[in-house]
Amino acid sequence: MSDDFLYDDDDALVESKSARKRQMHALQHLGEQLVELSAAQLQKLNIDNESLIEAVQLAQRISHRSGKRRQMQFIGKLMRNADAEQIADALDALHETSRKAKAQERVIEGARDALLARGDDALPEVLAIWPQADRQLIRQLTRSAQDERQRDHAPSSARKLFRYLRSLSETSMED
């Protein structure tokens, strides 16, 4: 039978073994996602289950395959008592923040690359993104970076330009 719920002899609703097994696998998968996080990311989740946190931290340190597998099963067992929905929501929020940060980095890199490739022609596009930017500083850093590139020097001005654009992006996100 493919139903997740079955009826017993007393017409009471009973969850099928397959449905319970799917739930346990889902909880174990959620635990695996916790193990893949860094210590700082794990701290941001604010999980109140101390034994679960300790088990996740131990699993992060285990390198032996069968030991890690047993620890993951133990984490799946601990996840039964944890608020899995709250943990899943916190993980989703953490991943969304990470995606937004990566997208913002791509915008900054694109602006820097456009400035280095096209010079002053790309300046209006950058100023459209960050209107509070210092036009003169951007022009100066762009020209210095282009000179460094022509002379095969280290790209210190390109790095400074990137850092400046990043600071502009951070201040615009705070406003």
pLDDT tens track for 42-70: 888 878 888 888 998 999 999 899 999 99
- The CATH 1.10.60.30 portion of the chain extends over 99-174
* Assigned CATH for 5-82: 1.10.60
Whole-number Å distance between alpha carbons of 31 and 79: 7
pLDDT in tens, 65-103: 999 999 988 988 888 888 888 888 888 888 888 888 888
Whether the pLDDT of residue 2 is over 60: the answer is: no
CB neighbourhood size of 82 (10 A): 19
| Fold that domain 99-174 belongs to in CATH | Diphtheria Toxin Repressor; domain 2 (1.10.60)
For residue 47 the two structure tokens come to 């999980």
Residue 27 contacts residue 76 (beta carbons within 8 Å)? yes
Strand pairing category for 5-7 and 13-15 = antiparallel
Whether the pLDDT of residue 128 is over 80: the answer is: yes
Beta strand extents in the chain (DSSP E only): 5-7, 13-15
Q: pTM to 2 decimals?
A: 0.56
